[in-house]
Structure 1
């Protein structure tokens, strides 16, 4: 009997010594979906659940080498990107992605920690926007979306501006919003917006952005289309929040 092939997802992200976010949260999520993880560490952080104390970026060359090693060692079915730290690292990651345009990529644009510590150098915002063109989906929360765009208007208007600049699809996460429901909105070029709704819970958990993006990547690795992957991932995150 032939063995069932288990998908691999390459996670490109920073470490979190507390285990609450970053690559630890990514690997936990992929394991819950029955997906194997390969990793490329972009930065080593010293942090607790209260805040980030120190960040040491890994050299861009070493990040690219880790990615290429993972891609040569395993049948990578999707890539999830989190913390990138510097413009040089973003450019290095973009170079590797250009060599594998067939692999779906989910980018969680990590700009700051939950405690407010900056995790991307200010000069790297432009490079991060350019990276969007190489990604299947970008998943900013509302504060990140405001920092990534230079227009006034609704979150959908801001997401459309990223689409106009070359992004393929943007999922605006509504966790920082208000109201009885947490509403995430998918914006794609040429398509009407699509909403994904779940009841808002009065709980908090670090790393939910990592969790959502990794869950989407896991679903894409299994061959699900984007809308199904987002719906599955949102339900997964909601279930985890109900366990708190």
Structure 2
């Protein structure tokens, strides 16, 4: 027998298999870690859009977290679509109890097709309860503007840092230039950026993949910068051989064997 670093994942179920908890499981596994998946919400979703979402009972989630905590080591935590403010409160209580475990928050608010995955109460709970506990949050451009209150990337990131975020990775997958640029903002530190070539348009589940891969790197004891770089490499490989699953966005092929050094 052998062991791998373990990543606790709280995310929603995407029936198309493109985003959500399946993307997280695949990304964490591809980068050499073992996933501990806990469903936070169920969605009516395909590769084109989200048409509905229902949160899992927060008490059931609390019981699952307590059960895992009593049995297995947890080396990092990654969140995606959380379903309700009550689920956020359960997770925040768990994260405060385990403050030494790095937390990566992907603040999923809207699907690429425009469908809502978070109401105002959930967004407010994430900002107040989860963001101050996270090693890094990973909003895309649309989410960053909504969370930070400005269309200017740097201004919105600074607003979130001023409110208690340790790190904001502004992801560039929703842009339309020749390159995808991901920028890391942290208090008192210069902005760092990573660039990869853009292949075609947008892909279903790249944000989930990136955030989950970062959590895997942190679970292995790597620096945040190295974790971002390795995860971005995974995303780049996965979109270069994307799958045609449905009639909407292509799905990154995270099934390719890849354990980056």
Query: TM-score w.r.t. structure 2 length?
Result: 0.88
4+ residue runs of structure 1 moved beyond 3 angstroms?
none
- Give the whole-Å Cα distance in 1 for the aligned partners of 2:29 and 2:151: 39
The yes-or-no answer on 1:162 pairing with 2:160 is yes
Q: Relative contact order: is structure 1 or structure 2 higher (C-alpha 8 Å, sep ≥ 6)?
A: 2
Aligned length: 241
**Does structure 1 conserve the Cα–Cα contact (< 8 Å) formed by 2:54 and 2:83?**
no
Give 2:9's aligned residue: 11
Give 1:184's aligned residue: 182
- Give the whole-Å Cα distance in 2 for the aligned partners of 1:93 and 1:123: 15
Give 1:138's aligned residue: 137
Shift of 1:242: 0.9
Give 2:193's aligned residue: 195
Shift of 1:123: 2.0
Shift of 1:128: 1.0
**Does structure 2 conserve the Cα–Cα contact (< 8 Å) formed by 1:182 and 1:197?**
yes
Shift of 1:46: 2.5
The yes-or-no answer on 1:27 pairing with 2:32 is no
How do 1:62-101 residues align onto structure 2 when only pairs under 5 Å count?
Answer: 62-101=60-99
7-16 or 117-126: bigger deviation: 117-126
How do 1:40-59 residues align onto structure 2 when only pairs under 5 Å count?
Answer: 40-59=38-57
Give 1:229's aligned residue: 227
* Alignment root-mean-square deviation, CA: 1.4
Secondary structure, counterpart of 2:234 in structure 1: helix
**Does structure 2 conserve the Cα–Cα contact (< 8 Å) formed by 1:25 and 1:210?**
yes
Query: TM-score w.r.t. structure 1 length?
Result: 0.94
- Give the whole-Å Cα distance in 2 for the aligned partners of 1:147 and 1:34: 34
- Give the whole-Å Cα distance in 2 for the aligned partners of 1:71 and 1:205: 34
- Give the whole-Å Cα distance in 2 for the aligned partners of 1:148 and 1:65: 30
- Give the whole-Å Cα distance in 1 for the aligned partners of 2:39 and 2:61: 6
Deviations 1:50-85 (Å, cap 9, x if unpaired)?
233332211222222222222222211100000112
- Give the whole-Å Cα distance in 1 for the aligned partners of 2:199 and 2:157: 25
**Does structure 1 conserve the Cα–Cα contact (< 8 Å) formed by 2:50 and 2:116?**
no
**Does structure 2 conserve the Cα–Cα contact (< 8 Å) formed by 1:139 and 1:170?**
yes
Structure 2: gaps spanning 5 or more residues: 243-261
Secondary structure, counterpart of 2:38 in structure 1: strand
Deviations 1:132-182 (Å, cap 9, x if unpaired)?
0011110000000011122x3520121011001000000000112232221
- Give the whole-Å Cα distance in 1 for the aligned partners of 2:15 and 2:113: 15
Shift of 1:4: 4.3
- Give the whole-Å Cα distance in 1 for the aligned partners of 2:49 and 2:180: 25
